Structure 1
Amino acid sequence: MEFLRWSVEDGVAIVTINRPPANALARAIISEMDALLDELAVKDEVRVVVLHGEGRFFSAGADIKEFTEVSSGEEFTKLARNGQIVFDRMESFSKPIIAAIHGAALGGGLELAMGCHIRYVTKSAKLGLPELNLGLIPGFGGTQRLPRFVGAAKAAEMMFTSDAITGEEAVQFGLATRAFDDEELLPQTLAIAKKMAQKSPIALAAAIKTLQYSKTSTFDAGLQVEAESFGQVFVSEDAKEGIQAFIEKRKPQFVGK
Structure 2
Amino acid sequence: MPVVLYEKKDRIAYITLNRPEVLNAIDQETLCALTEAWIEVRDDPDVWVAIVTGAGDRAFSAGADLKEMALRWSKKEAGEPLQDISPPLTPMRGLEVYKPFIAAINGIATGGGLEIALACDIRIAAEHARFGQREVVQAIMPGWGGTQRLPRFIPFGIALEILITGDFISAEEAYRFGLVNKVVPAAELMPAAEALARRVNENGPLAVRAIKEAAYKGVQMPLEDALRLESELFDKLILTEDAREGPLAFIQKRKPEYKAR
Specify the SS of the correspondent of 1:140.
coil
Letter in 1 for 2:110: L
For residue 147 of structure 1, what is the aligned residue in structure 2?
151
Say if 1:83 and 1:140, in contact at 8 Å, map to a contact too.
no
Superposed displacement of residue 29, structure 1: 1.3
Aligned amino acid, residue 219 of structure 1: L
Residue of structure 1 equivalent to 2:67: 65
Counterpart residue type for residue 50 of structure 1: I
Aligned runs of 1:174-253 on 2, under 5 Å? 174-253=178-257
Structure-2 separation of matches of 1:51 and 1:59: 11
Q: Which runs of 5+ in 1 are unaligned?
A: none
Q: Flag structure 2 segments of 5+ consecutive residues without an equivalent.
A: none
- Say if 2:101 is the partner of 1:97: yes
1:9 is aligned to 9
Deviation at 1:88, TM superposition (A): 3.0
1:93-132 Cα shifts (integer Å, max 9, x gaps): 1211110001110001000110111111112210110111
Distance in 2, Cα, partners of 1:174 & 1:76: 39
Partner Cα distance (2:88, 2:150) in 1: 16
Matched to 1:2, the amino acid is: P
State the alpha-carbon separation in 2 of the partners of residues 156 and 104 from structure 1. 19
- The 3 A distance-change label for structure 1 pair 173 and 14 is same
Q: Which amino acid aligns with 2:10?
A: D
Cα distance between partner residues in 2 of 1:101 and 1:144: 20
Match of 2:20, SS state, is coil
Deviations along 1:194-244, one digit per CA (max 9) or x if unpaired, are 111222221121111101123321111111100110111011110100011
Q: What is the letter of the counterpart of residue 40 of structure 2?
A: E
TM-score normalised per structure 1: 0.92
Task: Give the TM-score of the pair, scaled to structure 2.
Answer: 0.91
Q: 1:76 to 1:184 in 2, by over 3 A?
A: farther
> Is the helix fraction higher in 1 or 2?
1
For residues 83 and 172 of structure 1, the distance between their equivalents in structure 2, rounded to whole angstroms, comes to 35
- Work out whether residues 123 and 167 of structure 1, in 8 Å CA contact, stay in contact via their aligned partners in 2: yes
CA–CA distance in 1 between the matches of 2:221 and 2:209?
Answer: 18
Corresponding residue of 2:49: 48
Counterpart contact for 1:171–1:179, Cα < 8 Å? yes
Offset from partner CA, 1:5-54 (integer Å, 9 cap, x none): 12222211111111122000112111112222222222222110000011
Q: Assess if the C-alpha contact under 8 Å between 1:52 and 1:99 holds in 2.
A: yes
Q: Report deviation, 1:85.
A: 3.9
Are positions 1:121 and 2:125 aligned together? yes
The RMSD of aligned alpha carbons is 2.1
SS in 2 for 1:209: helix
8 Å contact kept, 1:238–1:255? yes
Greater than 6 Å deviation, 4+ residue runs: none
Aligned CA distance change for structure 1 residues 192 and 244 (closer, same or farther; 3 Å): same
Q: How many residues align?
A: 254
Output the amino acid matched with 1:88.
Answer: R
1:87 matched to 2:92? The reply is yes
Between 1:15-24 and 1:35-44, the stretch displaced more is 35-44
Residue identity (%): 35
1:135: Cα distance to partner?
0.9
Matched, 1:20 2:24: no
Write the distance in 1 (CA, Å) between the matches of 2:39 and 2:90: 14
Take 1:226 and 1:94, find their aligned partners in 2: how far apart are those partners?
14
- For residue 46 of structure 1, give the secondary structure of its aligned residue in structure 2: coil
* 3-state SS of paired residue (1:119): strand
Please give the secondary structure, in 2, of the residue aligned with 1:86: coil
